[in-house]
Chain A
Amino acid sequence: MRTFIVSAGGIEMTVRLESDGDVTVDGKHCSVRRISATEFSVIAGERQIRVVAAAEGGAYSVIAGTYEGTLSVESERDRLLRKYGRSTASSGTRSEIHAPMPAMVIRIDVAPGDTVRRGQPLIVLEAMKMENEILSPGEGCVKEVHARAGKSVEKGELLISFQ
Chain B
Amino acid sequence: MGRLRKILVANRGEIALRVMRTCRELGLGTVAVYSEADRTSPHVLAADEAVPIGPAPSRESYLSIDRILDAARATGADAIHPGYGFLSENPLFALAVAEAGLVFIGPSAAAIRAMGDKTAARALAARSGVPTVPGTPGALTGAAEAREFCARHGYPVLVKAAAGGGGKGMRIVRESRELEGAVRAAASEARSAFGDERVFLEKYFEEPRHIEIQILADAHGNAVHLGERECSIQRRHQKVIEESPSVVVDGRMRQRMGETALSIARACGYVNAGTVEFLVDRERNFYFLEMNTRLQVEHPVTELRTGLDLVALQILIAGGEKLPLRQEEVTFSGHAIECRICAEDPRSNFLPSTGKIVHLRTPAGPGIRDDRGVDEGGEISVYYDPMIAKLIAWGPTRESAALRMIRALREYEVLGVKTNIALCLFVLSHPLFRAGEISTHFLQTHWNPEEMPGGEPGEPEAAAAVCALIAAGTPAPAGWGGGGRWIERRRDYLRGA
Binding site for B on A (CB under 8 A): 2, 4, 6, 8-9, 11, 13, 15, 17, 20-21, 23, 25-26, 28, 30, 32-35, 38-42, 44-45, 47, 49, 51-56, 60-69, 71, 73, 75
Contacts and interface: CB of A to CB of B under 8 A. Distances in A.
Contacts of A63: 413, 415
Contacts of A4: 467-468, 471-472
A66 B453 contact: yes
Nearest to B416: A54
B476 A56 contact: no
Interface in B422-479: 422, 425, 453-456, 458-472, 474-479
Interface residues on B, range: 35 or more
A44 B472 contact: no
A32 B462 CA distance: 8
A67 B455 contact: yes
Contacts, number: 152
Contact of B459 (A21, A40, A54, A64): A64
Contact of B467 (A26, A34, A60, A66): A60
B410 A66 contact: yes
Contacts of A17: 468-469, 472, 474
Contacts of B326: none
Contacts of A25: 461-462, 464-465
Contacts of A54: 358-359, 415-416
A73 B466 CA distance: 10
Interface in B281-319: none
B470 A60 contact: yes
Interface of B: 358-359, 361, 410, 413, 415-416, 421-422, 425, 453-456, 458-472, 474-479, 482, 485
Nearest to B475: A34
Given A6-B468, A44-B458, A61 B453 contact: no
Nearest to B479: A33
B415 A38 contact: yes
A130 B460 CA distance: 28
Given A53-B466, A54-B416, A64-B466, 6 more contacts: A6-B468, A40-B466, A40-B469, A68-B422, A69-B455, A73-B471
Given A4-B472, A54-B415, A33 B482 contact: yes
Contacts of B361: 39, 52
Contacts of B477: 20-21, 33-34
Contacts of A41: 479
B479 to A, nearest CB: 5
Which DSSP category, helix, strand, loop or mixed, fits chain A's interface? strand
A47 B465 contact: no
Given A33-B482, A65-B456, A53 B476 contact: no
A69 B460 contact: yes
Contact of B476 (A6, A34, A38, A69): A34
A45 B464 CA distance: 16
Given A56-B416, A66-B410, A44 B461 contact: yes
A56 B415 CA distance: 9
A35 B413 contact: no
A32 to B, nearest CB: 4
A9 B459 CA distance: 13
Contacts of B469: 17, 21, 23, 32, 34, 40
Nearest to B452: A68
Given A33-B478, A33-B479, A66-B456, A51 B468 contact: no
B462 A30 contact: yes
Nearest to B478: A34
A39 B458 CA distance: 17
16 contacts: A6-B464, A13-B461, A25-B461, A25-B465, A33-B478, A34-B469, A35-B478, A39-B359, A41-B479, A45-B458, A60-B467, A64-B463, A65-B456, A71-B464, A73-B467, A73-B471
Contact of B359 (A38, A45, A67): A38
B461 A52 contact: no
B256 to A, nearest CB: 42
Contact of B465 (A15, A20, A67): A15
Q: Which of A9, A23, A25, A68 has the most CB of B within 10 A?
A: A68
A13 B474 contact: no
A61 B482 contact: no
Specify which of B468, B470, B475, B478 lies most central, judged by the most chain A CB atoms within 10 Å of its CB: B468
Contacts of A67: 453-456, 459-460, 462-463
Contact of B466 (A9, A20, A32, A47): A32
A107 to B, nearest CB: 30
Nearest to A12: B464
Given A32-B476, A62-B466, A47 B460 contact: no
A35 to B, nearest CB: 6
A39 B462 CA distance: 12
**Shortest 3 CB-CB contacts between residues of A and residues of B:** A67-B455, A67-B459, A15-B468
Contacts of B474: 17
A51 B466 contact: yes
A8 B460 contact: yes
